[in-house]
Amino acid sequence: MVNGSQSLIRTLVDAGVEVCFANPGTSDMHFVSALDDVRGIRGVLGLFDGAVTGAADGYARMAERPAATLDLGPGLSKGLANLHNARRACSPIVNIVGDHALSHKRFDAPPETDIDALAGTVSGWVRRSSRPEDVGADAADAVAAAYGPPGQIATLILAANVSWEAGGIAARPHGRPPVTAVPDALVAQAAAALAPGRPAVILLCGLTQRERGLRAASRIAAATGARILTETFPVRLQRGIGLPAFERLGYFAEQAEQQLSGAREMILAGARSPVTFFAYPDRPSCLVPEGCALHRLGEPGQDIVEALEHLADRVAPDTDPILQEIIPTSPHRGVLTVDAVADLVGSNLPEGTIVVDEAVTGAQSMARGTASAPRHDWLTLSGGAFGQGIPTALGAAVACPDRKVINLQADGSALYTAQALWTQARENLNVTTVILSNRSYAILHLEMERVRANTPESRAAALLDLSMPDLDFVHLAQGLGLDAMRATTAEEFSTALQRAASEPGPFLIDAVVK
């Protein structure tokens, strides 16, 4: 007889779910055991739930299909930060949470957790399977819900007894939801907004930041003078030689306000109406200039890339896109700086690399230094919850084992989910982690200054300092099974990059930057 867990896994396999990132606990041991009974899902062990959920996000962004995650109620609470990031990225994830057997819940045992409430904060779909006969159908619904549109987290809660009891029935998958066309009226409205004399901005998000969307947007900009901006933290942006290149919408309000200043028309190509990341005294939260008209070029589930191409055909029928050319960089020697790291990474980036960017204060330099590298994908911190970079690189490497992954990682946020380095070593993944070690929460220093809450003698400044003692990422990485090297000069960093490229498996570079 088939139990609930076996029917769950069989349904996931039939629906195309190939990987389960897991930090197992007692209530889901029957699911773990069923991985031996039903073949087709690769189990990847994470030592912390935030590493598990971040890996599922990275996998979904690159594979464009959901991975499963597996944890318990208390573990779910530890994985919420990267589920938050995944939610903001519209990443499809099937989040399986083990719970107590129904007969045991009334005893309020120590691990008892309000899983429904926790899951509801990040999930677009939450369901409990109440009988083993229901598990297969619930799993099929979960995969369908994860695809959206838009992509989202679907949480399936599985009581232990439902998992172990016989009577499970695998269900047929529903398939991916169809993509529909954007109404011609919306394309025509956007074309009218691009008329001469009305300064326009087009904000790109989602799939419009891949080659087809970028080329269409560049044609529109060349023909009409419209300003093109990508989202501040792209989920997946294609960049490099032979592709159009656009500025990102600024992170700081002053940057964004300057970029959007004077716009009378704003076309949202998969993007939301822009707002500041945080509230600041005496500053507006909405970034749309006063008097600027908003035009939404489609909704989730509609083919916004095709609509952007149709818009380009209307307003720029005989215009070619402007493509990124090589930008020469100066040689770097001596003391290592963030700009030197960026230029050296850019000049050594293999074609097809996946770059995972959690460089935080170094992000602008990293983007500038790699602009004219060979074509690559760029993944960023979509939801603002630190600790995404290392596990997202892990998941991207599992999704694309034939591609190089480079993680540009700030030192402070690296420690949120450093356990993911162990999984990189265990799975022998082709990931190079570059730690930008400035021994400080530098982004918080900037935010302190912006709200004028800091003074040179402030005792609060100690909360933003990462020295005393200095972090030793080389020994940390080696203790987790990776090869590693420290670089304090541009020459040492260049050598470290060459070593990382020549050695199989994961590698970490502790780049001590000024």
Helix (H, G, I), strand (E, B) or coil at 115: helix
175 occurs within a structural domain? no
One domain for residues 97 and 199: no
3-state DSSP percent of the chain in helix, strand and coil, to 5: 40, 20, 40
173 occurs within a structural domain? no
Residue 114's pLDDT is what? 93
178 occurs within a structural domain? no
Q: Is the pLDDT of residue 124 over 70?
A: yes
Sign of the C-alpha dihedral computed for residues 239, 245, 248 and 249 taken in this order: negative
Q: What is the per-residue pLDDT across 10-49, written as a single tens digit (0 to 9) for each?
A: 999 999 999 999 998 777 777 888 888 888 999 999 999 9
One domain for residues 65 and 189: no
Q: What is the per-residue pLDDT across 369-390, written as a single tens digit (0 to 9) for each?
A: 999 999 999 999 999 999 999 9
Write down which residue in 164, 199, 233 finishes a domain: 164
Residue 28's pLDDT is what? 76
Q: What is the per-residue pLDDT across 231-243, written as a single tens digit (0 to 9) for each?
A: 999 999 999 999 9
Helix (H, G, I), strand (E, B) or coil at 513: coil
- Over pLDDT 90: what percentage of the chain? 79
One domain for residues 230 and 160: no
Give the closest residue to 370 by CA, choosing from 355, 383, 387, 391: 355
Distance CA 265, CA 463 (A): 43
Q: What is the per-residue pLDDT across 305-338, written as a single tens digit (0 to 9) for each?
A: 999 999 999 999 999 999 998 877 778 889 999 9
Domain span including residue 235:
184-315
Q: Is the pLDDT of residue 397 over 70?
A: yes
CATH of the domain at 196: 3.40.50.1220
Distance CA 54, CA 59 (A): 9
One domain for residues 188 and 160: no
Q: Supply the mean pLDDT for the chain.
A: 92
309 occurs within a structural domain? yes
Write down which residue in 164, 192, 214 finishes a domain: 164
Contact 79, 69 (CB under 8 A): yes
Q: How many CB atoms lie within 10 A of CB 446?
A: 14
Q: What is the per-residue pLDDT across 441-474, written as a single tens digit (0 to 9) for each?
A: 555 555 556 555 555 556 666 666 666 678 899 9
One domain for residues 160 and 188: no
Exposed/middle/buried for 231, CB within 10 Å: 0-12, 13-18, 19+? buried
322 occurs within a structural domain? no
CATH of the domain at 27: 3.40.50.970
Q: What is the DSSP string of 192-211?
A: HHT-TTS-EEEEE-GGGGSH
Read off the pTM: 0.94
323 occurs within a structural domain? no
Cβ contacts of 36 within 8 Å, gap of 6 or more: none
The number of folded domains in the chain is: 3
One domain for residues 311 and 359: no
One domain for residues 90 and 215: no
